[in-house]
Amino acid sequence: MSQSSVLNHSPNLYQLLGNFLVDKYRRYRLSSANTSPLICSLVQHLPIRIERMFENAIDGEHLPFLHSSTFAEINILESGRWGWEAELYMRPKSFMTKMRIRLELDRERNCWVTKTLSGLGKGTEIRTHAIPKGENQIKVVIDFYVPKLPGFLHKKYSEYYLSTYQRLYEEDFSMMSERQLALDFNKQGARRPRTEYTEGINLGLASVLQSEKSTMFVFDGKKYCLRFYQDKWIAYSATCPHMLGPLNESEIADGHIVCPWHNYRFDINTGQCSSNANYCLTTPPDIYHDPATDELWTTGRV
């Protein structure tokens, strides 16, 4: 999770300039205070494991893709289990929305601090504390500190931070919970006997499925998408090998699909990832159309 001092979700040019000038004023304002004031706090109760929250915190790469209405671009400079440091642009991308951010995670204390090192919002700090409330429940407290902010702007900044972070957490929660479901599904799939797939499985009537954008099916413990693309039936993995993001709704362009979580691009024929050579889609079963019955079948795997 990152931070900004831009005061609108999608600011127009005047608002952008206003925010930029306020930020400049704040940074060069003389102040005797040697601590940053707490501007506001946000509390979230999330039915999710704390491991998912930690993964999300140290995953800076997802910001411009999962949160595409807030962040325009990220360039990760360094990263690890400790966190990440990156150059980042808020939306709309401009020299006025550029910032350098560092996030450091302290797993033992269940907390992380996000600091703006330079650029827009320089000096601001967001301190997040995730408190486990059970195996699948956490309480997250996010405190926003902005140095040298004139008092009359506290309310406006507070409104901005609360609405932005509420939205970011909703987007993050959908990703974390979908990932948890995918992890649970994979665990169950590993226990399933393989013999039931020897005959192939009936996927349904082609004339019915042709009107669907994509049809998901499970084969040999893995999820796949069935699609009619360029006059033929194809199948490809419905799950991204990077962090198990969903590929079933992605548009196919030039024979490739793009994962919505980190924008990795995959060739649907070969499964190769053109964004990161370490990843490759699981090989799907072949699809067979029986012209006599109009049924679509997978071929058997074993």
3-state secondary structure of 169: helix
| 262 touches ligand FES by CB under 6 A | yes
Report residue 108 as tokens: 């033992």
- Comparing CB distances to Fe ion, the nearer of 23 and 172 is 172
Q: Among 153, 149, 142, 165, which Cα is nearest to 35's?
A: 149
Q: Which stretch binds ligand FES (CB under 6 A): 84-92, 106-114, 184-192, 237-245?
A: 237-245
How far is Cα 239 from Cα 246, in angstroms, rounded to an integer? 5
CB of 169 or CB of 261, closer to ligand FES: 261
Task: Kindly report the number of other CB atoms within 10 A of residue 30's CB atom.
Answer: 5
Q: What does 219 bind: ligand FES, Fe ion, none (CB cut-off 5 to 8 Å by kind)?
A: none
Q: Which of residues 74-113 bind ligand FES (CB under 6 A)?
A: none
Which range binds ligand FES by CB under 6 A, 16-24, 104-112, 186-194, 261-269? Answer: 261-269
Q: Would you count residue 60 as binding ligand FES (CB under 6 A)? A: no
Pairwise CA distance, residues 92 & 81, whole Å: 30
* CB nearer to ligand FES: pick between 207 and 278: 278
Of 127, 242, 289, 301, which one interacts with ligand FES (CB under 6 A)? Answer: 242
Contact partner at residue 172 from Fe ion, ligand FES, none, CB < 5 to 8 Å by partner kind: Fe ion
Burial (0-12, 13-18, 19+ Cβ within 10 Å), 199: exposed
225 binds ligand FES (CB under 6 A): no
Distance of CA 199 to the CA centre of its chain: 38
- What is d(CA 291, CA 5) in angstroms, rounded to the nearest whole number? 61
**Whole-number minimum distance, CB 55 to Fe ion, in Å?**
10
261 binds, among ligand FES, Fe ion, none (CB under 5 to 8 A by kind): ligand FES
- Contact stretch for ligand FES (CB under 6 A) within 15-23, 96-104, 259-267, 294-302: 259-267
Task: Output 138 or 259, the one with its CB closest to ligand FES.
Answer: 259
- Nearest approach, Cβ of residue 247 and ligand FES (Å): 8
Q: Tell me whether residue 35 is exposed, middle or buried, using C-beta atoms within 10 angstroms of its C-beta: 0 to 12, 13 to 18, 19 or more.
A: exposed
Q: How far apart are CA 248 and CA 240, in angstroms?
A: 10
Residue 226 is a binding residue for ligand FES (CB under 6 A):
no
Binding segment toward ligand FES, per CB under 6 A, in 95-103, 124-132, 184-192, 256-264: 256-264
Q: Residue 281 and residue 258: Cα distance in Å, rounded?
A: 12
Q: In sequence order, what are the residues at sequence separation of 6 or more whose Cβ sits closer than 8 angstroms to the Cβ of residue 232?
A: none
Contact residues: ligand FES, CB under 6 A = 240, 242-243, 245, 259, 261-262, 264
